[in-house]
Amino acid sequence: MVERTTVLETPALHVELLRCALGRGPTEETYTTRRQVMFPLSGTFRWHVGRSVMLCDPNQVMFVETNEASFDTATQPGIVTCLLATVSDATARRLWRTATAFRKRTAIASARLQARYAWFASAAQNDALWEQHALELVASATDAAIGAAPAPAPAAAIRLATRAKDLLGDRGRLLGLGELAEKLDVSPAYLTDAFRRAAGIPIVRYQLRLRLMRAMRELPHASDLTALALELGFSSHSHFSTAFRVATGLTPSQYRETARRGDAIERIRKRSRVASR
């Protein structure tokens, strides 16, 4: 079952918030006649395109090519939410000179890109200003996909990294490296090296990004930031605030206010930099 809510609709693109209930079986096979970029917000699932199977979670963005049949399966039954941008043909020609991003299909999102699309999902309004924000999101996601690619990793490292991501899921809570390595029956050192080679990012940072992404979803509605920090596995509000600010350029309080008021994130960052001088 898929619930679709239109967030923004203009001649350039259509942005929807999707809420999908994934069960034990596969979803129906679908395809699109227009290029799409999907930003997972919560949940973990497998995306099947042709012979390729990709594990997708809120640390990644997805590029959906036209006329390619695909379906999803759950890592475990539950709810998945995503922001989906469907781009008009004219806009697609301006945005994408090559199909590089769509051949790669997925890309790791930076923490700042994650902050922007989580903020967009919370605060977007249906007007021309937000169309520009949406187009900037799609362009930034494309930049992430066509940037420097990590060196090819051995198949064994890729399989191990996929199993690790499956166990980490979108839990929000901290799962220690030792505990994770034990579940995978490998040493922590081997897991660390294999994950970095396969994913292009250290496993500790990957898990931190998942926890911060959950924080971004919760912050617009959170009243007690200390309770949220402890729930996400941080030792204190200060620890949470420092990690959040280093990753996104904003404190949790600043992010919460931008999402509630609909202020542009970059404008708040600039004010913060000026105030700190």
Domain shared by 109 and 226, yes or no: no
CA dist 219 and 228 (Å) reads 8
CATH number, domain with residue 128: 2.60.120.10
Least trusted range by pLDDT, from 44-53, 55-64, 103-112, 267-276: 267-276
Q: What is the pLDDT of residue 277?
A: 46
CA dist 98 and 90 (Å) reads 14
Domain shared by 127 and 160, yes or no: no
Q: What is the pLDDT of residue 275?
A: 47
Tens of pLDDT, residues 17-29 = 999 999 989 999 9
What are the C-alpha distances in Å from 193 to residues 3, 39, 162, 187, 202?
40, 27, 14, 10, 8
Tens of pLDDT, residues 194-217 = 999 998 899 999 999 999 999 999
55, pLDDT greater than 70: yes
Tens of pLDDT, residues 241-274 = 999 999 999 999 999 988 887 665 655 555 555 4
Tens of pLDDT, residues 116-138 = 999 999 887 766 778 988 999 99
Mean pLDDT, rounded, for 51-55: 90
Q: What is the pLDDT of residue 209?
A: 92
- Per the domain annotation, does 210 fall within a domain? yes
Domain shared by 53 and 129, yes or no: yes
Domain shared by 243 and 264, yes or no: yes
Domain shared by 230 and 261, yes or no: yes
Which one of 77, 111, 146 terminates a domain?
Answer: 146
Tens of pLDDT, residues 129-175 = 789 889 999 999 999 888 756 667 888 998 999 999 988 876 655 77
* Percent of the chain scoring above 70 in pLDDT: 90
Domain shared by 122 and 167, yes or no: no
Q: What is the pLDDT of residue 170?
A: 65
Please give the mean pLDDT across all residues of the chain. Answer: 88
- Which residues does residue 21 pair with via DSSP β-bridges, in sequence order? 79
CATH number, domain with residue 223: 1.10.10.60
Mean pLDDT, rounded, for 44-55: 92
224, pLDDT greater than 80: yes
Q: What is the pLDDT of residue 9?
A: 93
- Per the domain annotation, does 276 fall within a domain? no
φ, ψ for residue 233, nearest 5 deg = 95, 10
Domain shared by 131 and 173, yes or no: no
Domain count, the chain: 2
Which one of 113, 146, 179 terminates a domain?
Answer: 146
Which one of 146, 179, 209 terminates a domain?
Answer: 146
Mean pLDDT, rounded, for 181-187: 94
Q: What is the pLDDT of residue 22?
A: 92
Tens of pLDDT, residues 95-112 = 999 999 999 999 999 999
- Per the domain annotation, does 275 fall within a domain? no
Domain shared by 139 and 160, yes or no: no
Domain shared by 162 and 111, yes or no: no
SS (H, E, C) 224-261: CHHHHHHHCCCCCHHHHHHHHHHHHCCCHHHHHHHHHH
- Per the domain annotation, does 179 fall within a domain? yes
Domain shared by 120 and 11, yes or no: yes
Domain shared by 69 and 172, yes or no: no
CB 244 within 8 A of CB 216: no
Q: What is the pLDDT of residue 274?
A: 41
- The distance in angstroms from the start CA to the end CA of the chain is 51
- Per the domain annotation, does 277 fall within a domain? no
Domain shared by 141 and 13, yes or no: yes
- Residues of the domain holding 54: 2-146
